[in-house]
Amino acid sequence: MVASPAFAEFLREQLAPLGRLTMRRMFGKTGVFCDGVMLGMITDNTFYVRVDDQNRETFKEAATSPPLSYAKQGATIDLAFWRVPERLFDEPDELVVWARAALAAARRVAARRAKPLTPARKPRRKSQARPA
């Protein structure tokens, strides 16, 4: 389920120090983006942040909750998003620290996914006049 308008607005206010925060519906959830990079997801008014090998230690506390997941062909696929502990909503400075770490992970993921630009193709030579 997507984020309620009240929860989305609360999160925008809390994460304002990060930069331009936007949210959009994705796959029945709400994606949380900062400057176009997805740092988190919301489902059922629960905030999950992007995790990778470099920030896993920062989010050790979140590892006690199951990660965001979905079912595919009878298997459960764990996504790289971990649940933010509820206590952080009463500690806005620490919530921003977690969000910054998630944003850094999101940027690393985006950089890995970016495809290098391919060199421009050389135009084909027009063949000599074809026989009629």
Q: Can you give the residue ranges of every domain in the chain?
A: 5-113
* Residue-wise pLDDT tens digits, 13-67: 999 999 999 999 988 899 999 999 999 999 999 999 999 888 888 887 777 677 7
Beta-carbon contacts of residue 14 (< 8 Å; ≥ 6 apart): 89, 92, 95, 96
Of the CA atoms within 13 Å of residue 5, those in its CB half-sphere come to 0
Give residue 80's pLDDT: 85
**Which ranges in the chain belong to alpha helices (H)?**
5-14, 92-113
Nearest to 41 by CA among 95, 111, 99, 112: 99
Measured distance CA(80)–CA(54) in Å, rounded:
12
Greater model confidence, 75 or 86: 86
Topology of domain 5-113, CATH: Yope Regulator; Chain: A, (3.30.1460)
Nearest to 38 by CA among 92, 91, 80, 95: 80
